[in-house]
């Protein structure tokens, strides 16, 4: 199973989700069963590390973003990944517009997989203060557990 987290620039939300989900999957003994990556819709931050505020907030909760570098989505991602998880509705919409028809069903919102009608967006904290990065972590931690349940049901379908 291969999952890709996608936000706008790949320096706040999607690297946070990648790190959190990587840890959640490893703690569940699924680290080797799931390929996990993140990217952004734009290439503006390509090659740069995550936002220092995202890194600091993540470190305070035991997540490591230090090895991550921003990258833009590429056409191959739509073939390579089983799930492309948009961090907000605009990202999901953009991904669906970019996706080849055969891959469009792989594009889903990161939040709301477990509860239709639940919160579906992880707000972009870039232009706010540290509390926005804490809010992102709260949402991502909850979403990562729900995503693991979803992925495990696809890995062990019985």
Average pLDDT score over the chain: 94
Q: Which of 37, 51, 77, 124 is catalytic?
A: 124
Query: Any idea which residue has 């809010």 for tokens?
Result: 135
Give the pLDDT band of residue 154 (cuts 50, 70, 90).
confident
Q: What is the pLDDT of residue 108?
A: 94
**Beta-sheet strands, E only, within 19-148:** 35-40, 83-86, 107-109
Task: Assess whether 89 carries a catalytic annotation.
Answer: no
d(CA 110, CA 87): 6
Task: Assess whether 124 carries a catalytic annotation.
Answer: yes
Q: What is the pLDDT of residue 115?
A: 66
Taking CA atoms, 42 is separated from 39, 47, 57, 108, in Å, by 9, 12, 23, 19
Q: Which of 13, 22, 53, 71 is catalytic?
A: 13
Per-residue pLDDT tens over the stretch 99-117: 999 999 999 999 976 666 6
Q: What is the pLDDT of residue 112?
A: 78
Task: Assess whether 69 carries a catalytic annotation.
Answer: no
Per-residue pLDDT tens over the stretch 69-110: 999 999 999 999 999 999 999 999 999 999 999 999 999 999
Per-residue pLDDT tens over the stretch 12-47: 999 999 999 999 999 999 999 999 999 999 999 999
d(CA 140, CA 85): 12
Closest to 9 in 3D by CA, of 52, 87, 71, 53? 71
Q: Which of 7, 12, 37, 106 is catalytic?
A: 7
């Amino acid at each position: 199973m291969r999952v890709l987290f996608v936000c706008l620039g790949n320096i706040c939300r999607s690297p946070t989700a990648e790190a959190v989900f990587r840890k959640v999957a490893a703690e569940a003994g699924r680290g080797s069963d799931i390929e996990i990556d993140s990217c952004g819709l734009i290439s503006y931050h390509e090659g740069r590390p995550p936002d220092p505020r995202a890194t600091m907030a993540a470190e305070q909760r035991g997540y490591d973003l230090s090895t991550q570098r921003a990258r833009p989505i590429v056409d191959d991602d739509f073939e390579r990944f089983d799930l492309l998880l948009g961090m907000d509705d605009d990202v999901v919409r953009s991904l669906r517009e970019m996706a080849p028809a055969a891959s469009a069903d792989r594009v889903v919102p990161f939040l709301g997989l477990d509860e239709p009608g639940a919160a579906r967006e992880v707000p972009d904290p870039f232009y706010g203060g540290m509390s926005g990065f804490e809010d992102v972590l709260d949402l991502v931690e909850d979403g990562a557990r729900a995503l693991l349940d979803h992925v495990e049901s696809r890995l062990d379908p019985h």
